[in-house]
């Protein structure tokens, strides 16, 4: 007897929606059957019919698909402002939902989505944090949380290998605008890294950020960011990112009392001290002495299933009660880091967390009002859930 498959729909047939559709149609996600897709762009739908699959049902209106009775689960792959809107539309119909990153543009919007999820506990709500499937970051988190190496002293993430040309930004009129995207590198490229940062280290108590808006491109939003964070236990963090470095770096370094952990080149390196620094310092008598230690090879399980892994875990949660890679409610944490960084850069001030949501919205709306490229031809302020619904 053939195992039951979950009837799936996708809202948004852009880059991400297409990637997910192809994974499912090729059999990489055996718990799912793709039966429908919705997109507002008729040319995109025609392309899908001829180049992806003629056998699924297509809609030019997302809510019509949700009301069709054809689907029991849905993936949200539209521009950022619409993520909570369509997620809540799914929840209210009892449709399981997976949301692409980021969870939304501002935390007040995402908090509403999370409250809706709590009212519909039978809906399996996931967030597409595919980097959590990477064995390197899973192992790093395990080691940080193990207690073996004491506390974190500092963490620095230099991630500047996001280079994007002007052509990329010009490829969609919603891209890199306050009205269409709600931010730049932090909202588009870095939600995964902001999620991993807090997943591994926890949330800081304060953030101070310095940003350049349109420094390297003809865009409205940030393409260069340096942020400094302070944690309640006295540890610190620095997060640096850009889409302007043609040959950038990706190095995540965590210094602990008893070890240095570094992720670079998709490998995890460990330098293990013979004892915790504070214990060694009590007996050291050499003026220029340093804690002895050694490089240690780190073993991982080698698994890194990425998007397919997240989708398959979601299927397992729906059918068999298995754990998700990331619950949808967790999406608010990395977004709060992003909102705090933006608010700090907007105001020139250190920002305390939890972030002042009303103040952030007021500052964001100022920038939406002045946005030069408005996808709908009108100003849509961020106290709504958005009105876009096209492809991401």
Residue 389: pLDDT over 70? no
CA neighbor of 83 nearest in space, from 170, 11, 174? 11
Q: What is the pLDDT of residue 3?
A: 85
Taking only the tens place, the pLDDT of each residue in 325-369 is 999 999 999 999 999 999 999 999 999 999 999 999 999 999 999
pTM confidence score: 0.94
For residues 316 and 266, what is the distance between their CA atoms, to the nearest angstrom?
27
Structural domains in the chain plus CATH codes: 6-131+306-326 (3.40.50.720), 134-302+334-369 (3.30.360.10)
What separation, in Å, do the N-terminal and C-terminal C-alpha atoms of the chain show? Answer: 38
Under 8 Å CB-to-CB from 144, ≥6 apart: which residues?
152, 200, 201, 254, 256, 261
For residues 95 and 89, what is the distance between their CA atoms, to the nearest angstrom?
9
Taking only the tens place, the pLDDT of each residue in 252-279 is 999 999 999 999 999 999 999 999 999 9
Give the CB-side neighbour count of residue 61, counting CA atoms within 13 A. 4
For residues 152 and 174, what is the distance between their CA atoms, to the nearest angstrom?
39
**125 strand-pairing partners:** 97
Q: What percentage of the chain carries pLDDT values higher than 70?
A: 95
Calculate mean pLDDT across residues 178-187: 95
Residue 384: pLDDT over 90? no
Q: What is the pLDDT of residue 348?
A: 98
Calculate mean pLDDT across residues 165-177: 92
For residues 138 and 140, what is the distance between their CA atoms, to the nearest angstrom?
5
- Contact by Cβ (8 Å): 296, 260: no
Least confident interval from 68-72, 271-275, 381-385: 381-385
For residues 355 and 342, what is the distance between their CA atoms, to the nearest angstrom?
10
């Amino acid at each position: 007897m053939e195992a039951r498959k979950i009837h799936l729909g996708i809202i948004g047939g852009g880059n991400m929606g297409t990637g997910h559709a192809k994974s499912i149609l090729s059999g990489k996600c055996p718990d799912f059957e793709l039966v429908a897709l919705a997109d507002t762009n008729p040319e995109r739908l025609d392309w899908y019919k001829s180049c992806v699959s003629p056998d699924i049902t297509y809609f030019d209106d997302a809510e019509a698909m949700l009301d069709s009775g054809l689907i029991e689960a849905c993936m949200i792959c539209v521009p950022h402002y619409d993520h909570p809107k369509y997620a809540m539309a799914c929840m209210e119909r009892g449709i399981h939902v997976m949301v692409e990153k980021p969870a939304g543009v501002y935390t007040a919007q995402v908090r509403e989505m999370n409250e809706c999820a709590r009212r519909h506990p039978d809906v399996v709500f996931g967030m597409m944090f595919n980097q959590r499937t990477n064995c390197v970051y899973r192992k790093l988190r395990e080691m940080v949380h193990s207690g073996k190496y004491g506390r974190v002293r500092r963490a620095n993430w230099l991630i500047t290998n996001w280079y994007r040309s002007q052509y990329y930004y010009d490829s969609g009129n919603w891209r890199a605008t306050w009205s269409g995207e709600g931010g730049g590198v932090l909202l588009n490229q870095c939600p995964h890294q902001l999620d991993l940062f807090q997943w591994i280290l926890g949330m800081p108590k304060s953030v101070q950020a310095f940003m350049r808006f349109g420094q390297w491109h003809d865009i409205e939003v940030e393409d260069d960011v340096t942020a400094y964070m302070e944690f309640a236990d006295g540890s610190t963090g620095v997060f640096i990112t850009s889409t302007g470095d043609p040959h950038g770096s990706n190095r995540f370094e965590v210094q602990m009392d008893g070890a240095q952990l570094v992720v670079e080149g998709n490998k995890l390196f460990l330098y293990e001290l013979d004892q915790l620094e504070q214990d060694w310092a009590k007996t050291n008598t050499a003026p220029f002495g340093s804690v002895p230690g050694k490089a240690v090879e780190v073993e991982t399980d080698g698994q890194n299933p990425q998007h397919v892994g997240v989708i398959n875990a979601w299927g397992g949660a729906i059918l068999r009660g298995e754990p998700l890679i990331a619950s949808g409610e967790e999406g608010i944490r990395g977004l709060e880091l992003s909102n705090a960084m933006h608010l700090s850069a907007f105001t020139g001030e250190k920002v305390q967390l939890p972030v002042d949501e009303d103040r952030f919205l007021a500052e964001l709306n100022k920038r939406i009002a002045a946005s030069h490229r408005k996808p709908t031809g009108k100003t849509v302020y961020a106290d709504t859930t958005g009105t876009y619904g096209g492809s991401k």
